[in-house]
């Protein structure tokens, strides 16, 4: 269960409502006190386990429940994502520990403490559905594919918002053919979420978006160039005047790695004309 929750990037912050526990058994105790004592210990252990395995934090042994929930909400509202590729390719379903160290002493981190090494079932997944899920406004940025971008507002040369992006080739799965060419396939999508104050996104209408599938084919010289400079592409989206949060997403359709990027943009009412 915790693996499924962690894979969905949900950090669990359990709060015990049992209140302050002195943690000691009285010398003279009713027969059921011992059972209750160990039940509370098991509950505390289970709460700590699910918090550690999903990147959250458990609050136990306090009567200040309102303060505990407030602290957990503040903690969960500030986060960033780190990603890495395990070098151990033996998927034996065993638990593997994750340890993140800080160069500055005295600080602490709350993060997922490990994962179970189950084989990846990405071959059965739908890249379009994966990308759609990762582009939802409440999702953190995906970093398995590194993206950089610049934005050009509408002008006399083009009526839409242009997003010029560069995708790092480091984690792309490009298969080498007998002719020496490296080939792959990526899906790109640009979505614009309404960011106007007091005007929330209409949940019944899909936000403005555009998507495309790019077939990549590089000869040896071109492949060396993209390793150094990345894969460049441009997306254009026509938007009405207003404030938006653009989300650009890329999915490697071979290995199912994802990358997303957020960009705030304000489209003016009138554009400059040359």
Kindly list the distances between the CA atom of residue 15 and the CA atoms of 64, 137, 255, in Å, as whole numbers in the listed order. Answer: 10, 27, 38
Asked if residues 4 and 58 have their Cβ atoms less than 8 Å apart, the reply is no
- pLDDT score for 272: 46
Sign of the Cα torsion 215, 87, 4, 99 reads negative
Q: What is the pLDDT of residues 225-273, one digit of tens each?
A: 999 999 999 999 999 999 999 999 999 998 889 999 999 999 988 644 4
Asked if residues 3 and 115 have their Cβ atoms less than 8 Å apart, the reply is yes
Which structure tokens are listed for 199? 């005007």
Domains of the chain in start order, with CATH, are 2-76 (no CATH), 124-267 (2.60.40.10)
The pTM of this model reads 0.59
Q: What is the pLDDT of residues 56-90, one digit of tens each?
A: 888 887 888 888 888 877 777 777 777 777 888 88
Instruction: State yes or no: pLDDT of 23 exceeds 60.
Output: no
Cα 53 to Cα 116: distance, rounded to the nearest angstrom: 10
Average pLDDT of every residue of the chain: 83
Burial of 169 (0-12, 13-18, 19+ CB in 10 A): buried
The position carrying tokens 């990549």 is 216
- pLDDT score for 32: 62
């Amino acid at each position: 269960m915790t693996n499924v929750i962690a894979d969905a990037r949900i950090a669990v912050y359990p709060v015990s409502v049992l209140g302050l526990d002195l943690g000691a058994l009285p010398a003279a105790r009713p027969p059921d006190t011992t059972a209750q004592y160990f039940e509370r210990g098991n509950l505390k252990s289970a709460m700590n386990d699910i918090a550690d395995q999903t990147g959250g934090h458990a609050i136990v042994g306090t009567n200040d429940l309102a303060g505990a929930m407030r602290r957990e909400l503040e903690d969960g509202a500030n986060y960033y994502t780190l990603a890495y590729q395990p070098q151990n390719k033996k998927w034996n379903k065993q638990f593997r520990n994750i340890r993140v160290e800080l160069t500055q002493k005295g600080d602490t981190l709350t993060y997922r403490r490990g994962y179970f090494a189950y084989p990846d079932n990405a071959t059965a997944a739908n890249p379009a559905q994966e990308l759609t899920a990762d582009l939802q406004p409440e999702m953190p940025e995906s970093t398995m594919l590194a993206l950089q971008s610049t934005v050009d507002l509408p002008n006399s040369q083009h009526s839409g918002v242009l997003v010029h992006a560069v995708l790092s080739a480091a984690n792309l799965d490009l298969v080498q053919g007998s002719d020496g060419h490296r080939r792959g396939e990526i899906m790109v999508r640009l979505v614009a979420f309404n960011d106007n104050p007091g005007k929330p996104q209409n949940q019944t209408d899909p936000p403005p978006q555009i998507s495309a599938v790019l077939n990549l084919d590089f000869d040896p010289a071109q492949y060396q160039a993209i390793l150094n400079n990345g894969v460049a592409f441009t997306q254009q989206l026509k938007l009405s005047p207003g404030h938006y949060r653009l989300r650009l997403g890329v999915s490697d359709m071979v290995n199912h790695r994802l990358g997303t990027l957020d960009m705030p943009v304000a489209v003016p009412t009138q554009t400059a004309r040359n």
